[in-house]
């Protein structure tokens, strides 16, 4: 099965987790904040960021073909 995301180091995943958190919160502020408070968006963004960091493919897990 082919991966959609490339294998990246821990530092790359920390960077992308932070970027996803910020981007999700900006999207939340622009679209949803009128209906649901911002703290809900921050919690959801944090959950997405932690999941991305925890379950993203690592360099050590690369399969040899």
Residue 39, domain member (yes or no): yes
Count of domains observed in the chain? 1
Residue 63 lies in a domain: no
Q: Which residue has the tokens 């944090």?
A: 46
In a domain, 65, yes or no: no
- Model confidence over 6-32: pLDDT tens digits? 777 778 888 888 998 899 999 988 888
Q: What is the pTM of this model?
A: 0.71
Please give the span between the terminal C-alpha atoms of the chain, in angstroms, as a whole number: 12
The answer as to whether 20 is a domain residue is yes
Residue 34: give the domain boundaries.
10-56
In a domain, 52, yes or no: yes
What's the pLDDT score for residue 22?
92
């Amino acid at each position: 099965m082919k991966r959609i995301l490339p294998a990246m180091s821990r530092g790359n995943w920390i960077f992308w987790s932070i970027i996803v958190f910020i981007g999700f919160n900006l999207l939340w502020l622009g679209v949803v904040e009128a209906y649901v408070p911002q703290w809900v968006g921050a919690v959801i963004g944090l959950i997405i960021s932690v999941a991305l960091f925890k379950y993203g493919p690592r360099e050590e897990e690369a399969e040899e073909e």
